Amino acid sequence: MLCAASIFATVRLYDILPFGFYVMFPFFTFAIFGISQLLLPVVAGIHENSTKALAKALRPVRFIAGFGGFTFFLLDKSIKTYFLRSILDNTITLLIGLPEVDQSQIEFKY
């Protein structure tokens, strides 16, 4: 959701925010995409390799996304596609659902 909000802010808030504040949003977008594209394949590879190596003796190493004892999803090969699809869905929902603002309601003093 953070990445979708950053993309939304990058697209919609260009004319509204001061440039120094606006620059953070494209940076956050690229940082989140970069980190996710680097880490998700590594985590999925660890899960797949441990499943093959420890199939008979022990339980495989699993990385689970969730909190408080609740499991939302298991980080495996299919999670990368799910992650990118959810970012796209949330960004489109934000762009369609939130009205366009002509000017900022907040006064920025320099």
Domain spans in the chain, listed from the N-terminal domain onward: 2-97
Q: What Å distances lie between residue 61 and 41, 80, 86, 101, CA to CA?
A: 15, 18, 25, 47
Measured at the CA of 70, the angle between CA 64 and CA 71, to 5 degrees, comes to 30
Q: Is the model more confident about 53 or about 68?
A: 68
Q: What is the pLDDT of residues 37-55, one digit of tens each?
A: 888 777 777 767 776 666 6
Distance in angstroms between the alpha carbons of the first and the last residue of the chain: 31
Taking the C-alpha atoms of residue 88 and residue 90, their distance in angstroms, rounded to an integer, is 6
CB neighbours of residue 30 within 10 Å: 13
pLDDT of residue 38: 82
- 90-102 confidence digits (pLDDT tens): 888 988 887 776 6
Burial 61-74, CB ≥16 within 10 A → b, else e: eebeeeeeeeeeee
pTM of the predicted model, to two decimals? 0.63
